[in-house]
Amino acid sequence: MTGEAIVETEELTKRYAGGTLAVDRVSFQVKAGEVFGFLGPNGAGKTTTIMMLTTLIRPTSGRATVCGRDVVASPHWVRQQLGYVSQDVAVDESLTGWENLYLQGRLYHLEPAVLRQRVGELLATVELEEPAHRPVATYSGGMRKRLDIAAGLIHRPRLLFLDEPTLGLDIQTRSRIWEYIRRMRDEHGVTVFLTTHYMEEADRLCDRVAIIDHGRIVALDTPAALKQALGGDLVTIRLAHPGPVPGGVGGGRPPLDRPAGDGQQAGHEAGHEALKALAAEMARLPLVESVQPGADSTVQLVVREGERATPVLLDFLSSRRVRVESVALKRPTLDDVFLRYTGRQLRDDEGAAAYHRMARAVRRVRG
Amino acid sequence: MSGTGIASAAADAYPVGSRWTTLPADTWWICWRELKRLWGQKIRIFMTLIQPLIWLALMGNMFQRIAAIPGFPARSYLDYMAPGIVTMVTLFGGIFGGLGIVWDRRLGYLQKLLAAPISRTAVVTGKMLAIAVQTAFQALVIFALALAMGVHFAAGVAGVPVLLLLAVLLSQVFAGISLCLGAVLTSHEALMAVVNFLTMPLMFTSNAMMPLDMMPAWLAKLAVLNPLSYAINPMRSLFLTGWDWAGLARGLVVLALSGLIMTAAASSLFRRSMA
């Protein structure tokens, strides 16, 4: 069931009354059955895009279709198809968890019998059966968010919009919510459109990611491909030996075993030459893109498919009877990707949260 | 399963229906939320009951001697004041009742409601219905308290539903005003300032506490424009003299029309504020 577009935008643009260009001619497709992520810093236009797709604000220009219909022409129909979980934890504190879900189902015009059953199922899914009949005012932040997500699923939407689903939650709750999102997709075939400013979240959860900055999509692909575009994985190998001595004499002995004095300096020089020779040989191995011999008996390599390349490198070194002290495989993160496409690093979480609250307050004032 | 298959299945499962056909149900469920909220906050219910009691006791005693002024139309000030208290409580309940919409907007709950396939008008009418229910309940309590304090009700048992109807219609006018303000002003502070600015003049430019012919002429003219007067006059007749059909019909028609106009205005402003 993956394949055709469930969300499609063409040159979608939103300019607020104050003149702020929040979303600038954005075109993309979300395929049915995928988890699609919008990744970008606060104020990049993520929420504005979601609000246009969920019919909450009207695009200034451009077009968007959701489940095959235009959001401006058929807003009512579009609303019936989608679930929306905003970044505000929009649950009613004075109602119980059960009542929140029941009301939500009523607003989607579900039959009472069907609704009661579904409320029970969803409460079980998000592990809120026990406190179901307590007022939400007594719930923790994580419990509220789980309830909020359950509310977004009450009418079994084909498409679920999650705006910053794990904002401000602790690590444990966050991974629990990731688990729900995966299950929704895997077990119920729900297409998920989420926004996040957490690199890790986009990387671990999304099938495809659009990186958005200043209202423009700067890159769109699978997380793996985006990272691949950076040139590959980084392997750093530290050798226990400065390099193979031609003829194999003394091979395998660590540098500390060498006699002290002038001999050490000479040995070091010779070792560096040997390291360079070794590096030149490694550059010809499969999957290796480039090799850089470094100080301290280390070699840095850029390789394709780091997991497969690493054993090849180690086999080669062992065939040359070179002992390896340590090896590090670092895959480029979406952080590196973001930096590459925008020239900036994502703000750190703490600052981002404060900034975020401010941005939200501003948006509310705008209405 | 192809995507189009899912689309048609979903369309079958959730009847498309126009926005207007679901209006009554949506209105009820928005109202249900408001009433549940109220029920969950027992202190609010307690305050809405205790407040009129204090007013009745305090004002009834304080202004007791006004009734002795020649030309005062009632045998005791409490008889005269009881319908005034009903309208006063209705005024406050109505005009503060719609302000919750500002919090709903702030907390993101409004967006959640609007992302659901409900009639947009229902967000307004649901809140108004909740205010109507609350007003009817309060008016009934005040009426019972007043009777217990020896107030005379000339119209008899049949007059009670009419009294409640007048109070409910009046509450809809003020709920409408309140929701209009809530749609236009998104800052809670600004809203409170405007509402406080409105309530006192509304009280004192009506005949809630003083008969029209005991007021200065200019104030009496203002009172004619005040929707409160159209509820108080017929209510007062019910208390003091019984059935004044002409005054009653005029009051009901004016209040019902004003209520409808305010509902339409609030819905329209509210839709526009979300565009």
pLDDT digits (tens, 9 = 90+) for B42-64: 888 888 888 888 888 887 777 77
Nearest CB to B118: which of A92, A94, A107?
Answer: A107
DSSP state of A135: B
Between CA A203 and CA A186 the distance in angstroms is 17
3-class secondary structure for chain B?
CCHHHHHHHHHHHCCCCCCCCCHHHHHHHHHHHHHHHHHHCHHHHHHHHHHHHHHHHHHHHHCHHHHHCCCCCCCCHHHHHHHHHHHHHHHHHHHHHCCHHHHHHHCCHHHHHHHCCCCHHHHHHHHHHHHHHHHHHHHHHHHHHHHHCCCCCCCCCCHHHHHHHHHHHHHHHHHHHHHHHHHHCCCHHHHHHHHHHHHHHHHHCCCCCCCHHHCCHHHHHHHHHCHHHHHHHHHHHHHHCCCCHHHHHHHHHHHHHHHHHHHHHHHHHHHHHCC
> Does residue A269 surpass a pLDDT of 60?
yes
Strand order in the sheet with A298-303: A288-293, A298-303, A233-239, A324-330
Contact B186 A1 (CB under 8 A): no
Work out the pLDDT band at A99, boundaries 50, 70, 90: very high
- Nearest alpha carbon to residue A327 among A343, A339, A312: A312
Q: Are strands A233-239 and A288-293 parallel, antiparallel or unpaired?
A: unpaired
Contacts of A90 in chain B (CB under 8 A): 107-109, 111-112
* Per-residue tokens: A48: 């504005």
Residue B41 is predicted with a pLDDT of 82
Other beta carbons less than 10 A from residue B186's beta carbon: 17
Best of B28, B32, B33, B191 to disrupt the A interface (most A CBs within 10 Å) is B33
What's the rounded mean pLDDT across residues A295-304?
Answer: 83
Mutation choice for B interface testing from A15, A80, A91, A191 by most B CBs within 10 A? A80
The mean pLDDT value for A11-19 works out to 91
| Residue A263: per-residue pLDDT | 47
Facing A108 at nearest CB: one of B2, B117, B273: B117
Phi, psi of B72 (to 5 degrees): -70, 130
Which pLDDT does position B213 carry in this prediction? Answer: 75
Q: Where do the domains of chain A lie?
A: 5-226+339-366, 233-330
SS3 call for A284: coil
Distance of CA A263 to the CA centre of its chain: 52
Triad A284, A287, A292: Cα angle to 5°: 60
Q: Do B25 and A109 touch (CB under 8 A)?
A: yes
Region B184-204 average pLDDT: 85
Q: What was the pLDDT predicted at A347?
A: 54
Q: B210 vs B235, which has greater pLDDT?
A: B235
Instruction: Show the tokens assigned to B224.
Output: 């004619």
- Report CB contact under 8 Å: A89, B108: yes
Separation CA A26–CA A164 (nearest Å): 20
Is the CB of A367 less than 8 angstroms away from the CB of B273?
yes
Contacting A with CB below 8 Å, chain B residues are 1-3, 6-7, 10, 13-19, 22, 25-26, 29, 32-33, 36-37, 40-41, 105-109, 111-118, 186-187, 273-275
Q: List alpha helices for A108-249, DSSP H.
A: 112-125, 141-152, 171-188, 199-205, 223-228
pLDDT at residue A252 in the model:
42
**A332 vs A25, more confident:** A25
Nearest CA in chain B to A67: B7
Question: Per the CB < 8 Å rule, is A82 touching B10?
Answer: no
User: What backbone torsions phi and psi does residue B238 show, to the nearest 5 degrees?
Assistant: -60, -40
Chain A residues touching chain B at CB-CB below 8 Å: 1, 3-4, 6, 32, 51, 54-58, 67-68, 76-77, 79-82, 84, 86-92, 94-95, 99, 103-104, 106-109, 135, 151, 155-156, 158, 189, 364-365, 367
Instruction: Give the distance from residue B171's alpha carbon to the nearest chain A alpha carbon, in angstroms.
Output: 24
Tokens linked to B136: 């009817």
**What mean pLDDT is predicted for residues A59-74?**
93
H/E segment holding residue A107: helix A97-107
The residue in chain A having the minimum alpha-carbon distance to the alpha carbon of residue B122 is A107
Judged by CB atoms closer than 8 Å, whether chains meet at A109 and B187 is answered as: no
Mutate to test the interface with B, among A6, A109, A134 (most CBs of B within 10 A): A109
Tokens matching residue B228 = 């409160």
Q: Do B115 and A6 touch (CB under 8 A)?
A: no
Contact (CB, 8 A) for A235 and A313: yes
The shortest CB-CB distance from A95 to any of B19, B26, B36 is to B36
pLDDT band at A259 (very low <50, low <70, confident <90, very high): very low
What is the nearest CA distance from B36 to chain A, expressed in angstroms?
A: 7
Distance CA B187, CA B192 (A): 9
Asked if pLDDT for residue B255 goes beyond 50, the answer is yes
- The rounded distance, in Å, linking the Cα atoms of A263 and B9 is 81
- Cα separation, B269 vs B256, in Å, equals 20
Please report which confidence band the pLDDT of residue A240 belongs to, taking 50, 70 and 90 as the band edges: confident
**Residues B9-32: what's their mean pLDDT?**
67
The pLDDT of residue A298 is above 90: no
Q: Distance between CA A60 and CA A13 in Å, rounded?
A: 6
CA distances from A135 to A99, A131, B265 (A): 9, 8, 35
State the CATH architecture for A233-330: 2-Layer Sandwich (3.30)
| Residues B100-157 pLDDT 10s | 888 898 888 999 999 999 988 999 999 999 999 999 999 999 999 899 888 889 998 9
Overall residue count recorded for chain B in this entry:
275
Q: Which of B166, B139, B143 is nearest to B244 (CA)?
A: B166
Look at A96-100, A345-349, B46-50 and tell me which has the smallest mean pLDDT.
A345-349
Is domain A5-226+339-366 in CATH 3.40.50.300, yes or no? yes
ipTM of predicted complex: 0.84
Locus of tokens 């993160």: A333
